[in-house]
Structure 1
Amino acid sequence: MQNNPSRRDFIQKAALTAGALPFLSFSDTSASSVAALPPIIVFSKHLQFLDYQEMAEKAKEIGFDGIDLTVRPGGHVLPERVKTDLPKAVEAIKKAGLQPLMMTTAVEDAQGTDEVVLRTAAEQGIKYYRMNWYKYNENESMPASLEKFQKQVAALSQLNSKLGLIGCYQNHAGKLIGASVWELYQLLQKANTEYMGLQYDIRHATVEGGMSWENGLRLLHSYIKVLAIKDFVWAQEKGKYVVKNVPLGEGMVDFTIYFQLLKKYGVQVPISMHYEYDLGGAEHGSKTPSVDKQVIYDAMKRDLKKVKELWTQA
C-alpha cells in the first residue's frame, strides 16, 4: 500500500524524472533514515499574485525544495489551458532550480478534461497530484455515494498506474467526503494504492478527530503519499466557536506527537506547506493581496523554519 521513499530515494527518483536537469540541493541529503527531513514544497495557491517565473524564483529564494502547483479553476494553470500553460509553468520551475513535484487539481475521474490534465502532467514529469473532493448526493444514501466514488477512485488509480502518477485525496474538515477517516478508508479499498492514496492534513484531522486523531493516523498511515501542514485554534466569534487558522506551532496541532508517529510508521513523503491564516487574501489564493508581498514571504520563511525545527525535535 505504501509509497513512502526515503528523502535520498525521493531525490534520486526525481532527478531521473527530470532527465538531464541536475536536481539541486535539498537541505538534508544524508544517508537514508526514517527521521530525515522530507522534501518541503510550497502550495502555489498562496503565490498566485506572481507569474510562473516570479513564483518559482521566490519559492527558491525562500528555501522550498519544490512547488505544489495549482492546476485547477482559478489556479496558476487553468485546466482548459493545461496543454499550453503547464509546460510553461514547469519550465519556469525547473529554471529556478526547483522541481514541479506536485499539482493540486479539480480532477474527479479518469475521463474528459481530467484525463487530459493528468496525461499532460505525466508528460511534464510531475509525480504527485491532489484531486478534488467529493460531495454526498442528497438524493441517495451515503453508502451508495461512497460506493460510486470508490469506483471513480479505483478507475483513477488504474490511469495513474499507466501514467506513472500518484494521486492523493485530502482529508478535509466539514461535510465533504473524507472528513471522517472511515470514509477515506472506504474510498481506497478498491484502488491500486501504489498509485492512489492520501494527502494527509493534520490540521483537518485534528479538527475532526479531536482526541482520537491518533487512531485515525494509525488506520490511514500506510495510504499517505503527501503531507499538508498547517495549524489552527478554536476561537470564539459572535458567541460561537469557529476554527481559526494560525501560524505553524501557535495552534492546537500537537506536532511533537504527530511527527513522532510519522517517524514511527516510516512515513517519508513530501510536505506541502499551506498558509491559511490572514495574509491579506493570499491565504485564499488572491491575485491582488492587500498586504505588502514581503509580509507573505516572511510568513512563509517563518513557518518553513518552524516545521524543520519541529521535525528535528520530535
Structure 2
Amino acid sequence: MVVSRREFIAKSACAASLLQFSAFSFPDFSESNDKLDISIFSKHLQFLDYKTTGEMAAEMGFSGVDLTVRPNGHVLPELVKTELPKAVKAIKASGVNCKMITTSIESTNNALDVAILEAASKEQISYYRTNWFKYKEGVSMENSLQIYQEEIKNLGHLNEKLALIGCYQNHAGTSVGASYWEVKKILETVNKQHFGTQYDIRHAMVEGGYSWENGLQLLYPNIKVMVIKDFKWGIVNGKWEALNVPIGEGMVDFTKYFKLLKQYKIKPPVSLHLEYDLGGAEKGNQEITVDKKVIFDAMKRDLNSVQKLWLEA
C-alpha cells in the first residue's frame, strides 16, 4: 500500500494530537474485572508526615495517595513550591503513586491557585479537585452558575497548558453541585479532556434518592475520579441526619453502582474517604484520640470491601 507524503503527514499529525491526551485516559476497561486503582485520601492521615503517609498507604495495599494541598492540609498552599516536591518524592519513594491532589482552587485570577497548579504540573500530578462554589448573594442561581461556568472554562484552558485534569465534586448540601444538573451546567463549556467531575456516590445518593441512577447516566461521560464512601440515615438529637459508616454497612448500593460503571465501561481512579468516627482522623486532625492501628485497620477493611464489591458486581 503506497501512502503519499501528504497522507503520511496528516496521519502523523493526528497521532501526535492523540498522544497528548493519552495520559488522561482511564486504564483499559477489562471484562476480567481487574481491581480498582484506589488512593487513600490523605486528609485522614494528616497526623503522619509525608514519608510515613506513603509507607502506610503502601503497607495497607493502596495504589496511591490523594494528597491534601489546601488550608489545614498536608501541604499548605503558600508553601506549595517547596513542600509539594518533598511530599510527592517521599510518597513515591514508598512505592505508591501521588497522581491526585485535593485543593481549595477556585479561579485562574488567584495567583496562589495558579501557583498550586504549576507546582502540580511539575510533579506530574494528573488530577486535582477544586473547592466547592457557593451561590452568590444578590445574584440569581442561574447567573451564579454561569459565573462559575466561566471560571471552570478558564481553569480548563490553564489545565490544557499544564497537562492537568481538574475535577468538581458533587456534594450534598446547599453549595453548587449538590444537584447533578448543577454539575452538568458548570461543565458545559469546558474542554472535557481537561476538566470533569469527581463523582461521589455517597453524596449522589443522599441528594438523589432513587434518582441517583439518572444522575450517573447524566454525568458518567464527565467522570474523571470517583470518591468512595458510605452512609445511612439516623436520628441524632431528635433529627434525621446522614451518618457516615464503613463501606458496606450503609445505604449505598455498591452492587448496582459498580454494575452500572461496568455497563458504561468506565473505571476511573478512586479516592477512598473514611468520614466516620476515627478519633479525629476523619476530620483531618493532626492530633488523634485513638491508637493509629484503629485507623489503619479501618482503612484496610474499607479498601478490601470496595475491591470485593467491585469484583463481585
Normalising by structure 1, report the TM-score.
Answer: 0.90
1:250 and 1:7 map into 2 onto residues whose CA distance is 30
1:287 aligned onto 2:308: no
Aligned-partner residue type, residue 173 of structure 1: A
Give the aligned residue type for 1:220.
L
The aligned runs of 1:23-62 (5 Å cut-off) are 32-33=30-31, 35-62=33-60
* Correspondence 1:220 to 2:219: yes
Question: What is the distance in 2 between the residues matched to 1:69 and 1:50?
Answer: 12
State the partner residue of 1:277: 276
The letter for the 1-side match of 2:49 is: D
Counterpart in the other structure of 2:4: none
Match of 2:84? Answer: 86
1:107 is aligned to: 105
Checking the alignment, whether the CA contact within 8 Å between 1:105 and 1:130 is kept in structure 2 is yes
Q: 1:5 aligns with which of 11, 21, 26?
A: 26
Q: Which residue of 2 aligns with 1:185?
A: 184
1:266 match: 265
Quote the offset at 1:4 in angstroms.
4.8
- Partner of 1:298 in structure 2? 297
Is 1:135 aligned with 2:156?
no
Q: Indicate conservation of the 8 Å contact 2:36/2:307, yes or no.
A: no
Deviations 1:96-124 (A, max 9, x none): 01111100000001231000000100000
Deviation at 1:253, TM superposition (A): 0.2
Q: CA-to-partner distance for each residue in 1:134-157, whole Å, 9 max, x for gaps?
A: 000121111111000000000001
Deviation at 1:239, TM superposition (A): 1.6
What is the aligned length? 291
- The two structures, once aligned, show a CA RMSD in angstroms of 1.5
Structure 2 contact 42–66 (Cα < 8 Å) conserved: yes
Q: Which residue of 2 is the match for residue 65 of structure 1? A: 63
Counterpart-to-counterpart distance in 2, 1:300 and 1:4? 27
1:182-261 map, 5 Å: 182-261=181-260
Structure 2: gaps of 5 or more residues: 1-20
8 Å CA contact retained: 1:248, 1:303: yes
**Percent identity between the aligned chains?**
55
TM-score of the superposition, structure 2-length normalised?
Answer: 0.91
Tell me how far apart the structure 2 counterparts of residues 271 and 100 of structure 1 sit (CA, whole Å): 12
Specify the alignment match of 1:168 in structure 2: 167
Cα distance in 1 between the residues matched to 2:114 and 2:185: 23
* Moved >3 Å (runs of 4+): 1-4, 32-35
Secondary structure of 2:267's counterpart equals coil
Higher gyration radius (CA): 2
